[in-house]
């Protein structure tokens, strides 16, 4: 058995893990709740970004309910939900859907929309 293989395997696994985590985080750089300005590509497509403040979310299951409900709205291209912040950041095409439709989907998921801001 090669005694040097174990530290090398750990180094390779550590590097692969770090690379994987970095790649998983990259889609989040397009926009976040803290920096929710539409990208140039979104602006060219006519997409808007709505920041929806939601009351009542307490866990990941709540996040998934909201995300699943809002994702089904025609014209919604992406949804990021945070129960910790009580928000949903929704990318949508205003030619295909409206804020009231998005708000209705949140309510149908069992939560209350407190406010909505569009960028």
Residue 109, φ and ψ in degrees, nearest 5: -80, -5
Alpha carbon separation from 29 to 32, 33, 35, 75 (Å, rounded): 7, 10, 9, 22
Residue 111, φ and ψ in degrees, nearest 5: -130, 160
Length of the chain: 119
Average pLDDT over residues 63-67: 96
Give this prediction's pTM.
0.64
Q: What per-residue confidence (pLDDT) applies to 28?
A: 44
Given a cut of 50, whether residue 29 has pLDDT beyond it is no
Given a cut of 50, whether residue 32 has pLDDT beyond it is no
């Amino acid at each position: 058995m090669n005694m040097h293989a174990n530290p090398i395997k750990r180094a390779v696994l550590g590097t692969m893990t770090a690379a994987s985590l970095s790649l998983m985080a990259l889609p989040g750089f397009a926009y976040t709740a803290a920096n929710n300005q539409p990208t140039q590509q979104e602006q060219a497509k006519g997409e808007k970004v709505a920041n929806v403040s939601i009351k009542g979310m307490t866990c990941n299951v709540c996040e998934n309910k909201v995300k699943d409900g809002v994702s089904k709205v025609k014209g919604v291209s992406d949804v990021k939900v945070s129960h910790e912040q009580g928000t949903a950041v929704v990318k949508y095409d205003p030619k295909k859907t409206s804020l009231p439709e998005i708000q209705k989907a949140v309510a149908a998921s069992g939560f209350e929309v407190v406010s909505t801001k569009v960028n």
